[in-house]
Amino acid sequence: MRRTLSRALAATAVVAAAVSGASAANPDMMTATPDSLQWGPCPQKAESQRAESQRAESQGSEAPRLECATLDVPLDYRSSDGRQIEIAVSRLASKDPSKRRGVLLTNPGGPGGPGLDYPALLAGAGLPKDVLDSYDVIGFDPRGVGRSTPVTCDLTPQQQARGNFPPYAHTAADVAKEAPYARTIAKQCAASRTAWMLPYTTTANTARDMDRIRAALGEPKASYLGSSYGSYLGAVYATLFPERGDRIVLDSNMGPGGYDLANFRLLGRGMEDRFPDFAAYAAAHPQYGLGTTPKQVTAKFFELAKRLDAEPVDGVDGTLFRGLTFDRLYVDGLMPKLAEEWQALDKGKPLPTPPPVSENLLASHFYVACSDSRWPDKVRDYQRNAAIDRLKYPMLGGTTGSIKPCAYWPKNRVEPPQQIGDRGPSNVLMVQNERDPGTPLAGAMKLRRALGDRATMVTADQGGHGVYPFSRNTCVNNTVTAFLTNGRRPADDLACAAEPNE
C-alpha cells in the first residue's frame, strides 16, 4: 500500500545565460533545426500507462487517432552535437484545418509521469471541441521516462513497493533510521546503467526538449497545457524561451522551485487544507461509522493512524494509511472509496493489493527531483524539519519533513537550479483549486508572485488536484477555453465560486 503516495506524486531572470554551450553559445538562444517527425502508429501501451488509457477510452477517448513519432535531442545542450537521446512524441491532430491555429504541448505531471497518451486522455475527459479543433494536441514522454530513453535506479521489487516517500517519523531517531535507506537509493541511482543520464535529466533540459519538439513540428511558437509538476515545467519553458511560448496554461501549480525541499514539505499543508472536505463528507454519511461530525472524523484519522502504527492490518501501517488517505483526497469521486477503506481498516479487514508502480516511474522521479535543486545533506536538518512539520501538519508532516534520497545525490550538477522570473510577454494563465493536496494554494501563490505581470491566476473554491478540463467548475473551464481558443484572459486575478461537482 505504500505505493499510493508514489502514484499521487506520480506536480527571476533566465538562468540559462549562466550555462555555456558549444562554440561559447547559450543553448537556450539557439533555434533547433526542425527535423522531420515521421508519424505512425503509437507503441503498445506500457503497463504504467494502461490504467489511464483505459479510463480515457471508457470516456470516449480519441486514442485511435493518436499518432506517434520519435525525435533525437542532445543529452547535454551545452554540446548539442554530442550524444543524443530519444524523445517519444504523440499527436492528436486537429480535425478542422480551417480552425487550426497551432500546437498545444501538454504534460500531465510527475516528475516521472509518462505523457504519450495524455492528448487522448484530455480528449476523453472533455477537452472542448473548440480546443481540439484549434490545435494539434501534442504529448510526449519526458527524457528518462517511458518510451523515451528511460532511466533506472535498478530498484528491487521491495524498493519499488516502498515508493518515494519515507515512513512517518515520530521522533528524531526515526529520521536517523531512514537515512541509510535514502543513501542506498541515491547510490543505486548513481551506479545504475543509466547513470550517464543523471546530471542531464532535469526540468530545464526537458523544457529544451520541448523547444526541439516545437521546432520539429515547424511551428514558430507553441502553446502549452501542463498540470501539477507540468506547471513547473511550463514555467521553466516560459522562462527559458519567453518569445517562443504562445498561450501558456499552468494548472495545479507548484511553487517556483518545482519539486524541491520546500514543495515536498508543503505537501503536509496540502493534506491539512484538503482533509476537511473528506471529514465533512464522512460525517454526512454516518453509515460508514467514522463519526457524525467533522471533528469526530478527524479524531478517527488519528486513532486509526496510531492503531495501525502499533498493529498493521495485512501490511497497512500508519504510514501507509496516511498515504492512502492523501492519495484519495486528490479526487472528490474517490471519497466514497476512501470511507470504505477506512471502514475496513477500522474493522481489521485487509485491503486489495494495488498494482505495482513501475521502476522507471520511481527512478525518473528521483533523477529529476534530486537533480533540479539542492537538498540539505545533514540528517539533523531533516530531524528539525520533521519536528517542525509534525507540529504544524500532524497528519502528514512526519513523512514530508523526513529525509529522501536527494540528501545524498551526487554533486555533479551541470547548471544551477532554475529561477522563474517575470521577464517576457504576459501570456500565462494559472488555474488552481483552493484546497489542492498535491500542489497547495500557498505554493501556487509563490509562483504567481514570481511570474509577476506575465501571469493571471484563476482560483476555484473547491478541493482536489487537477482543474482543466477535469473539473466541472464552469467558471474555470470557460475561462481556460476562452484563453486557448480566442486569447481572451481575465485582466486581473479571478476567484471562481464553488459550483456543484456532480
Q: Is 491 helix (H, G, I), strand (E, B) or coil?
A: coil
Q: What are phi and psi of 38, to 5 degrees?
A: -100, 100
Pair 329, 401 in one domain: yes
Task: Please say whether the beta carbons of 87 and 69 come within 8 A.
Answer: no
Which three cell numbers mark 177? 533510521
Mark which of 414, 432, 467 sits at the end of a domain. Answer: 414
Pair 144, 158 in one domain: no
- CATH number of the CATH domain containing 38: 3.40.50.12270
Pair 142, 165 in one domain: no
Pair 171, 124 in one domain: no
User: What is the b/e burial string over 204-217, where b = at least 16 CB atoms within 10 angstroms of the residue's CB?
Assistant: bbbbbbbbbbbbbb
Q: What is the pLDDT along the chain (502 residues), one digit of tens a residue?
A: 434 444 444 432 222 222 223 333 455 655 445 567 999 999 876 433 444 445 444 444 566 789 999 999 999 999 989 999 999 999 999 999 999 999 999 999 999 999 999 999 999 999 999 999 999 999 999 999 999 999 999 999 999 988 888 999 999 999 999 999 999 999 999 999 999 999 999 999 999 999 999 999 999 999 999 999 999 999 999 999 999 999 999 999 999 999 999 999 999 999 999 999 999 999 999 999 999 999 999 999 999 999 999 999 999 999 999 999 999 999 999 999 999 999 999 999 999 988 888 999 999 999 999 999 999 999 999 999 999 999 999 999 999 999 999 999 999 889 999 999 999 999 999 999 999 999 999 999 999 999 999 999 999 999 999 999 999 899 999 999 999 999 999 999 999 999 875 5
Pair 236, 314 in one domain: no
The answer as to whether 14 is a domain residue is: yes
Q: Which domain holds residue 331?
A: 154-186+261-372+374-414
The answer as to whether 480 is a domain residue is: no
Q: What are phi and psi of 90, to 5 degrees?
A: -125, 160
Pair 299, 170 in one domain: yes
38 burial class (0-12, 13-18, 19+ CB within 10 angstroms)? Answer: exposed
**Closest C-alpha to 308, from 152, 418, 168:** 168
Pair 229, 273 in one domain: no
DSSP string across 332-360: GGGHHHHHHHHHHHHTT---PPPPPPPHH
The residue type at 176:
A
User: What is the b/e burial string over 70-109, where b = at least 16 CB atoms within 10 angstroms of the residue's CB?
Assistant: bbebbbbbbebeeeebebbbbbbbbeeeeeebbbbbbbbb
Question: Model pTM greater than 0.95?
Answer: no
The answer as to whether 233 is a domain residue is: yes
Pair 83, 173 in one domain: no
* Number of domains the chain is built from: 2
Pair 175, 254 in one domain: no
